[in-house]
């Protein structure tokens, strides 16, 4: 049987809102696979939803830069080991300089950018005493491109429009930062995600015993709701929930083409150290 760590139980609690024992049992039942545990909990009706954001354990910053006269933009994530270093002026200057170099030398592939920055990165590591990783970069182009960086530089967004203006693009980018949609339009949602959602809905307790045509109708309604909640154009605009983001863009003569959202550390697992346990273990070893 897989060992279920306290850190894994804690993460599942945070992502589902369930109690410790429920989470521990769910993880034990699937060999410690947290994503499968969430699916099973949702199927049983115990967990109504799981956070869509990836794990955000790593530290660092995300920086963005508008280029080419407002018709393109770059976004870059650079990671550090601690939040303290992420606020260091030298670290921030390295990240911002990396973005300038990426634009100047057209380095939009992360491997090429890493190679170009390796000497500077090593010098920074020697200075600050922590590992530094130039993790990922993306570039958007369009008639109009806007950016938004959250105040602490942990979230940054680029939005490309046909028509409109940079202020509109920035407002929509701010919405994306706050709400984190998965796709621009409902039709953009990958078929495999829709099918998985259908399976989860069909397995929920209130579907049991109902005629097939009723089940299909209920699934259809819930899928439409799922698509609306996760598609940028269908979401109520954060600054004015009376209109959707799609309506906002249309009223300004614009069309949303694409967006990129980076959040520091999403998808990176970071070891959680229980210092109290370490001290207790060390004390026991000295006895």
Which pLDDT belongs to residue 54?
32
pLDDT over threshold 60, residue 183: yes
The number of distinct structural domains making up the chain is: 2
Tens of pLDDT, residue by residue over 213-239, are 888 888 889 999 999 999 999 999 999
Statement to judge: residues 130 and 26 lie in one domain: no
Range of the domain at 47: 1-51
Binned at pLDDT 50, 70 and 90, residue 275 comes out as: very low
Distances (CA, A) of 276 to 151, 192, 269, 273, 279: 33, 43, 21, 9, 5
Residue 274 reports pLDDT greater than 70: no
> Measured between alpha carbons, how far is 245 from 157 in angstroms, rounded to an integer?
15
Domain containing residue 42: CATH number? 1.10.8.10
Shared-domain flag, residues 88 and 36: no
Are 81 and 126 in the same domain? Answer: yes
pLDDT tens-place string over residues 4-27: 888 888 888 777 767 778 788 889
Give burial (CB, 10 Å; 0-12/13-18/19+) of 194: middle
Q: Which of the listed residues 51, 72, 92 is the one where a domain comes to its end?
A: 51
Residues 65, 99: contact at Cβ < 8 Å? yes
Which residue, among 65, 221, 272, has the nearest Cα to 153 in the 3D structure?
65
Q: Are strands 255-263 and 155-162 parallel, antiparallel or unpaired?
A: antiparallel
174 and 66 in a common domain: yes
pTM: 0.73
């Amino acid at each position: 049987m897989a060992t279920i760590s306290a850190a894994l139980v804690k993460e599942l609690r945070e992502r589902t809102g369930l109690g410790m024992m429920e989470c521990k049992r769910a993880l034990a039942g699937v060999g410690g696979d947290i994503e499968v545990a969430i699916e099973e909990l949702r199927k049983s009706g115990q967990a109504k939803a799981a956070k869509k954001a990836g794990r955000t354990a790593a530290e660092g910053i995300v920086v963005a830069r508008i280029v080419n006269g407002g018709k393109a933009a770059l976004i870059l994530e650079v990671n550090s080991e601690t939040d303290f270093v992420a606020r260091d002026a030298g670290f921030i200057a390295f990240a911002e300089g990396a973005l300038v170099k990426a634009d100047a030398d057209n380095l939009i592939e992360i491997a090429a950018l890493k190679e170009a920055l390796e000497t500077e990165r090593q010098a920074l590591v020697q200075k600050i005493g922590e590992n530094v990783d130039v993790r990922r970069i993306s570039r958007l182009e369009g008639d109009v491109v806007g950016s938004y960086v959250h105040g602490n530089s942990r979230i940054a967004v680029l939005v490309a429009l046909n028509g409109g203006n940079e202020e509109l693009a920035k407002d929509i980018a701010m919405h994306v930062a706050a709400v984190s949609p998965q796709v621009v339009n409902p039709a953009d949602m990958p078929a495999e995600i829709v099918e998985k959602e259908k399976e989860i809905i069909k397995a929920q307790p209130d579907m049991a015993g109902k005629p097939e045509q009723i089940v299909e109708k209920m699934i259809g309604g819930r899928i439409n709701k799922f698509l609306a909640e996760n598609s940028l154009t269908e979401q109520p605009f954060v600054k004015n929930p009376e209109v959707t983001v799609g309506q906002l863009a249309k009223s300004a003569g614009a069309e949303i083409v694409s967006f990129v959202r980076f959040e520091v550390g999403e998808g990176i697992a970071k070891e959680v150290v229980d210092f109290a346990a370490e001290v207790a273990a060390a004390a026991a070893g000295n006895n």
